[in-house]
Amino acid sequence: MKKLILIAILATTIWGADFSGYTTEKLIEMRGTVAVEQRDAFRAEMKKRIKTMTPEQKELFMQSKQKRSGMGQGHGMGMQNY
């Protein structure tokens, strides 16, 4: 089982990630959870999608951004002066 997982990780790293098959909503849900090796491909796909997002998708996108900028990102309580 461990070998299978390792092979899957290596295959993803070697061939890169193709996010073009995902819906825009799924990509928005994936924000902040994409592996480091796949972030450039993810960002490139999101950059393409932002241009064609519906107003509802843009709202969802902005909400996901706000959730990520909460506590744990240096913006929580006690961090106002830093």
Question: DSSP class of residue 57?
Answer: H
Residue-level pLDDT at 77: 47
- DSSP 8-state secondary structure symbol assigned to residue 17: -
pLDDT beyond 80 at 68 = no
Has this prediction a pTM greater than 0.75? Answer: no
What is the C-alpha radius of gyration for the chain, rounded to an integer number of angstroms?
16
For residue 21, give the amino acid letter: G
Residue pair 56/64 in contact by the 8 Å Cβ criterion: no
What is the C-alpha to C-alpha distance for residues 25 and 10, in angstroms, rounded to an integer? Answer: 27
Residue 17: per-residue pLDDT: 83
Q: Is 70 exceeded by the pLDDT of residue 69?
A: no
Residues 36-49 have pLDDT tens digits of 999 999 999 999 99
CA distance 67 to 63: 6
Higher pLDDT, 10 or 32: 32
